[in-house]
Amino acid sequence: MEAQRVFDAHAHLAPRPDSAERILTSMDRNGIDRTVVVAGAAISPDELSRQIIVGGHIEKDADNTAVLEGCAGAPGRLVPFFFANPHREAGEYRSRGTEFRGLKLAPGVHGVPLADERTQALVSAAAELGHNVYLHCLHREGFGVRDLVGLARRFPAVTFVLGHAGVGDLDLYGIDLITDSGNIVFETSGGYTSVVSAAIERLGAERVLFGSEYPLQAPEVELAKFKALGLPADQWRLIAWENTMRLIGETP
């Protein structure tokens, strides 16, 4: 796999003074040029782990202002997404949306199903702003990949990012579910190399994005998956750079 500019499609920026410095150091160490960042620390990893398995939710807001402040110190390198809370009206996102480059939804955090009118109000605002929507799916009714497909059909002009390689680390079924939904792309953090390979084969490299899930995952681990796959240079260029550039509305 030849040297290639890398755009990390998904990482978190916690509301702490040194967060931007830490992620930039990690990016430099791993040869990552740009990173999409969303607020971190809205929920602890232990709480999130429990909610993913047994359900539940929080109604706490993520610190989107801290994300903007962190990105301001590294213009162009850190790209802010708005982490929405469906328990609030969509008005805040709509009014602040031009400061961000996309929308992040976390059903596992806030516990609001994908077909819920509150989720749809936020996606409608994203459509107005020309934003894509990054979200996680869960193995629960109302939160699954099939529910995402239904949401994507309601908003065909919006690009949706299925985060973390679908549900679990072996979601080959999820790949099949989104195959015919051209406005759903696949972000690879957390998935097995076999799943990443299947996504490239079944969806095409133009619908696959490299993401790290920093700081919960070390970016070098996610990069190593692609190195192990030994992709042709044209496929790696799409996955590592061009697809995420298009996602945020920039021409590769």
Residue 39 is predicted with a pLDDT of: 98
At 163, the pLDDT band (50, 70, 90 cuts) reads very high
Q: Is the pLDDT of residue 60 over 70?
A: yes
Contact (Cβ atoms closer than 8 angstroms) between residue 101 and residue 81: yes
Determine, yes or no, domain membership for 16: yes
Q: Is the pLDDT of residue 84 over 70?
A: yes
Percentage of the chain exceeding pLDDT 70: 99
At 251, the pLDDT band (50, 70, 90 cuts) reads confident
Mean pLDDT of the 111-138 span:
98
Determine, yes or no, domain membership for 252: no
At 2, the pLDDT band (50, 70, 90 cuts) reads low
CA distances (Å), origin 13, targets 34, 58, 124: 14, 19, 25
Show the tokens assigned to 109: 């955090």
Q: Is the pLDDT of residue 65 over 80?
A: yes
By DSSP bridging, strand 132-135 and strand 102-105 are parallel
Element (H, E) at 143: none
Show the tokens assigned to 181: 């939904």
Q: Domain span at residue 204?
A: 7-247
- Tens digit of each residue's pLDDT (9 = 90 or more) over 94-108: 999 999 999 999 999
Compute the 3-state secondary structure of the chain and give helix, strand, coil in percent, each to the nearest 5.
45, 15, 40
Show the tokens assigned to 120: 């749809």
- Tens digit of each residue's pLDDT (9 = 90 or more) over 108-122: 999 999 999 999 999
Determine, yes or no, domain membership for 2: no
Show the tokens assigned to 54: 């047994």
Percentage of the chain exceeding pLDDT 90: 97
Determine, yes or no, domain membership for 187: yes
Determine, yes or no, domain membership for 200: yes
Q: Is the pLDDT of residue 85 over 80?
A: yes
DSSP 8-state assignment for residue 75: B
Q: Is the pTM of this model over 0.85?
A: yes
Residue 148 is predicted with a pLDDT of: 98
Determine, yes or no, domain membership for 1: no
Contact (Cβ atoms closer than 8 angstroms) between residue 165 and residue 190: yes
Mean pLDDT of the 145-167 span:
98
CATH code for the domain in which residue 66 is found: 3.20.20.140
Number of structural domains, the chain? 1
Q: Is the pLDDT of residue 252 over 80?
A: no
Contact (Cβ atoms closer than 8 angstroms) between residue 183 and residue 159: yes
CB within 8 Å of 228: residues ≥ 6 apart: 193
Contact (Cβ atoms closer than 8 angstroms) between residue 225 and residue 196: yes
**At residue 52, what are phi and psi to the nearest 5 degrees?**
-60, -35
Burial of residue 28 (CB within 10 Å: 0-12, 13-18, 19+) is: exposed
- Tens digit of each residue's pLDDT (9 = 90 or more) over 180-223: 999 999 999 999 999 999 999 999 999 999 999 999 999 999 99
Determine, yes or no, domain membership for 130: yes
- Tens digit of each residue's pLDDT (9 = 90 or more) over 9-40: 999 999 999 999 999 999 999 999 999 999 99
